[in-house]
Structure 1
Amino acid sequence: MVSRAYNSASLLKHRIVFLQGQRSKSSDSSARLASSLESANSFWLSLRRRAAIALTQTLSVDDKKALLEKIGGKQLLQPEKLEVTRLQQEDDDPHLLKNSIAEAVAQARMEEAQRQEKKWEKDKEAILREAEKAAMERVASQLRVQKFNQWQQEVGIAKTSSVMEKSAQKDETQEETQSKQEHPILGMAHASLGYKSVHLVSAKDLADIPVWEKQRIYRHDRAKAMAQDKLKTMKLGMPGVITLYEDRDGKLSIIDGQHRVGMMSLLNEQSVEGLDLDNVLVEVYKELAEYGEDHAKDIFLEINKAEPVKLLDMPGVATAKDRTIINRGAQLLMERYPSMFSPSQKCRVPNLNIDNLRDALFAANVIKRHSLTTASALEAWLLEQNAIMEAKYQSDEAKKTVSVSALAKAETHSFYLGLDSSWYYH
C-alpha cells in the first residue's frame, strides 16, 4: 500500500535525471562525475522524501513536520525542486550525502549495471525497485525511532505530573509497558555501562541505519570481498562489534563497521546458513551534553587509533575541499583504469587500491604542491605522471626492478602508477 503513495510521474523524472547523470558522455570527466553525484543525491533525496510523505500521511500537519525535521531536516520539507551541489553540501548536510548501507548497496548496483548496457536494460526495473525499498525502509526505521523518542519524552513529562496521571499509567499491562520500553531498532539493552549500552540487533535493521556523516567512503567492492571471505570462515561466527552513535534527537548512525554491515547485508540476501544475522553484537554511544558536537568524532578517533584508518579520513585533518578533490580525482582514475584497481589494501604490484592512493596523494601534499583546485586538474596530473612512468619503464634498468608479469600487466593496460611510488613526489 505504501508504494502506491509514490508520485510515479515525478519519481520517473528523478530516475531519468539520475540516469542521464550516470550515462553522460561529456568530455570533461570531472564535470561528468560531479553531475552524476549531484543527480544521485537528488535521486535518493526524492525517494526518501516520498517515503516520508507516504509513511506520515495519517499524521497531523504539525506532527508530520516535527517528525520530518527530526529525521531529515529541511531536505525533507523543502519544495520539490531538488538542486544540490555536492561540494558545497559535503560537510554541511549529512542527511543529504550519507546513505544507509542498504541504499549504498543499491547505489553500487545501479552504477555497476550502468557500466554494462545489456545488464542495465535487463535488470533496471529490479534495481530501481531495490532502491525504492532501501529508501523506504531507511525512512521507516528513522520514523520508528523518532516516535519512540517522542513517547519517551511524553512519559517523562507524565512522571512529573499529577498523581492522577501516574495512576492512569499503572493501568497499562506489564506486557504493554515492556513493549513500549523496547527500542524499535535496538530492542532491550543487554548491558548498560553508562557511557554506552550493548544490544543484539539484526543485520537487516542495521542496514537501514545511515552512516555517520564523517565516516570514510563506503566501498561496495570491499564489502563483497569480505562476504566472499566470510563464506570460507563461517565457523568463526561474526567477530567484533558494530558501533552506533545516538544523537540527542535519537537519530542513529553507524560510526564503525559500515563494511561489515554491508557484508552481512549481502550474506543475508544469500540466506547463508550457519551464521546468526539476527543477533549482531552492537554497542551504542549516546550523545553526552558535556561533549557536545565533538563527542562522535572523539569516539571515532578513539576506535580507530589501533585500526588502519587513512589519515585523509580522520575528522579535522584534511579540509573538505581537499578531501573532495582527492576523492573525486582518485575515483576518476579508477573509472578510467578499473582493471588496475584492487579492493584489497595489500594488493600486488602493479595494482592500486583507491584508499591507499587517496591517502598517499594527501600525505605527499600533491594538491597544494601543484596548486590543484579541481578533480579534473588532479586527474590530468595523474595521467601526466602515468605517461612519465611509462617512459621510465622503457629503460632496461627500470625493467629490472619489477617482475616480468607486473610489467606485462602494466603494459597491457597502459597503467604504470602501481609499479612504484616515486611519482607521488614529482
Structure 2
Amino acid sequence: MNVSIELDHPNVTFTNGDTIYGRVVVYCPNTTIVVSKITASLTGETKSFMIDTTGLFMNHREEEKHCIVKESQVLLPNWNRGDNTRVESLKLGFGYHRFEFALKLPWFPECPTCPPNSPIFNDGIRNFGPSRLPPSMENLASGADSSYRIDVAVTTYKNMFKSTTRKSTRIAVWPSDTSPESTSGIPPQSFPSTTSAVASILAPPDTPTTLNAGNTMQLLPARSEPTRIIITAKFPQDFHISTGSARNIAMRLTTKRLNNSRHSLYLSSFQLLLFGYTDILAGSASRGQMSCWTLQSLSNLDRELPLDDDPDIECDIDPALWREKCVPETAVPTFDACNMGRRYEVEILLGLQCRHAGKTGRVSVVQLRVPVRIGSGLVSGRRLEAVEPAAAQNRLGTQRESVPRQMSSMNGFVEKEEFPAPPTYEEAMKEPSER
C-alpha cells in the first residue's frame, strides 16, 4: 500500500481564511486492504533554537516550539450520505482510492501553550497583545523556522495486524494584508507616514582674496555659506510597503531649501537598501540576525535636484529612480510570534553636491533610515484559481484527466479508479499470437 497527498492548488501561497482542498490517495497494489481510519490535519509551528553560552562550565542547547495552527478532519469513519448510516471501515481493492479533505486556515494563531494575553516577542522584549499569523519562513535565519504542513494518517488492518501510514507535505502561508492591495490609486501627496533628515552641503570653494599688510601679501581663504536642506521620505499608512513582483515600492522623496544659498544642488548617487532583522527567543536565550537587500544602486547621475527659493515649497525627487524596484519575494512579511519576530528598515543614501559658476563642491552623503512594515500583498477571499500559475493549473488538469475515474456509491469523499485486473500466470506465459 502506498499513501500520497494531492492538493488542488499546490503552488499557491495561502492566507488567512483560505480553505485548502485536497485528497488522500491510497494505492492498493494487488490485495484487498481494510482501512479503519483516515485523518487529515493542518499544522502550523514555530521552532527556535540556539546555544546558550552563559553557563560557567558548559554550553547547552535552548529550544522552544509553539503549535500555532491545528485543524483536523476525520475522513473515515464517516456517515454514508445515501442511507445515513455510519461507515466504520472500508475494504479497498486493487487501484487508486481518493478521499477528499478540506482544511481551513484560521484568522489568528491559536497556540495552546500561550493564553490569549500571552507575551509576544517584539524588538528584543516581550510585549502583550494579539498576533498575526506568522508567514512560512525557512532558511532565512539560522535557528528560526516557521512552517505549515498537511499531515495524513491511514490506519489499516491486514491479517489481524494494525498499522498506520503517515505522510506530510508542506504548504506556503503568508498573513493577509491589512493595508490596501495597491497604492496606485493613492496620490503620493497624501502619504501620511514621514521621516526627514537635515543636511548641510558644502559649497564650492570661491576665489581667495588677498590682503596687503605692509610689504607682505596674505592670502585669505574664501568663506561661502553651505546649502542647508531638509530631505523628507513619505510612505503609506504605518510605513507600509508590499512585497510581490507586481507591487512597486510606494515612496515619495522631497527636498526643501532652509537658507538663501545661491548654489545649485546635484544628485551624484542614489542607493536604496532594505535591512531585515530576525529576533529569536529560545527559553532564556535570545539573539538577532540581520540580512540586507540592495534594491537600487546608481552612481555618476549628475542630475540637478529642484530647489525652490521659497522655504515653504517642497520639490519632488524624480520617482523614476526607484519606480520599477520591488521588495524581493525572499523578504517575508513583518510579524511577531511567541518565540520569533521579523522587522525591516529602509535605508536611503543620497550623494549630493553643490555647484556654482562652473565650480563643484565636495560630495556629501545624506542618510535616511526608516522602519517599515512589509505586507504580503494578499487579500482574503480571493479565487485561488486566479492566482495559481497557469503552468501549474495545466499540469494539475493533465494529472486529473490522465486516468478515468469512477465515483464510489458509498459517499462523495471516496473516489476509486478502476484498472483492469492483472493477467494470470497462464495468460502471461502465452505467446503473443495465442493471446
User: TM-score, normalised to structure 1's length?
Assistant: 0.22
Quick check: which has more Rg, 1 or 2? 2
Q: Which has the higher contact order (CA 8 A, sep 6+)?
A: 2
User: TM-score, normalised to structure 2's length?
Assistant: 0.22
